[in-house]
Chains A and B, each alone.
Chain A
Amino acid sequence: ETGVTQSPTHLIKTRGQQVTLRCSSQSGHNTVSWYQQALGQGPQFIFQYYREEENGRGNFPPRFSGLQFPNYSSELNVNALELDDSALYLCASSMDRGGTEAFFGQGTRLTVV
């Protein structure tokens, strides 16, 4: 098991609602990345936070937003949920942007109905 913890593990939301997912990074890691993994697909990069600043963003609309806190934990917020947002959301932490390994949490399974 990695030291990356995500909460909640499962979540069901209704289309149009907003959701907040949380991630605690591994001790000593200052970089957190978020990924979306649809069923049967590989994870897709949403964005990365380094020392509380956004440091790169993938091809996701602005209703996907995030925060990183001084203790390097992070939140992913999704507004105006759509059915296609149903996926496994993964958080990965690493030591600096140029670190040699990203450690993934177990993910949050989001279902939008």
Chain B
Amino acid sequence: QKEVEQDPGPLSVPEGAIVSLNCTYSNSAFQYFMWYRQYSRKGPELLMYTYSSGNKEDGRFTAQVDKSSKYISLFIRDSQPSDSATYLCAMTLYSSASKIIFGSGTRLSIRP
């Protein structure tokens, strides 16, 4: 069993829709939870990170962490074609820059 499970998609939604991306994990010791966006032929770019449980909002993006269920989510409001990318959930034990365990990524496509 992988430490972090993520549905690979692909996920295709119309422009303006709310997108929900999710991951589950098995190690209850994880403390930092991140979402990265990766465009084709580029390196991952950090979107948001959250320490422990709770919600965090940044513009159109909201990250949620439920440690009791070992479940994290990323919501994208008013989705744009420029949001089309692969989204990687990730987590670490000690800090968001220590050894990062990634999910396999969900490929998202926003249709104009």
- Interfacial chain A residues near B88, Cβ < 8 Å: 42-43
Min CB–CB distance B86 → chain A (angstroms): 9
The reply to whether the CB of B101 lies closer than 8 angstroms to some CB of chain A is yes
- Interfacial chain B residues near A94, Cβ < 8 Å: 97
- A-B contacts, 22 listed (Cβ < 8 Å): A33-B97, A33-B100, A40-B8, A41-B104, A42-B104, A43-B88, A43-B102, A45-B100, A45-B101, A48-B98, A56-B98, A97-B97, A98-B97, A99-B95, A99-B96, A99-B97, A101-B96, A103-B46, A104-B43, A106-B41, A106-B42, A107-B43
- Interfacial chain B residues near A58, Cβ < 8 Å: 99
A43 touches B44 (CB 8 A): yes
Number of A-B contacts (CB under 8 A): 75
Range of interface residues on A (Cβ < 8 Å): 20 to 34
- A84-113 vs B, Cβ < 8 Å mask (1 yes, 0 no): 000000101011111111111111000000
The reply to whether the CB of A20 lies closer than 8 angstroms to some CB of chain B is no
A102 touches B43 (CB 8 A): no
- B26-47 vs A, Cβ < 8 Å mask (1 yes, 0 no): 0000000000000001111110
Min CB–CB distance A8 → chain B (angstroms): 14
Interface residues of A in 10-32 (CB under 8 A from B): 31
- Interfacial chain A residues near B94, Cβ < 8 Å: 97-98
- Interfacial chain A residues near B100, Cβ < 8 Å: 33, 35, 43, 45, 92, 102
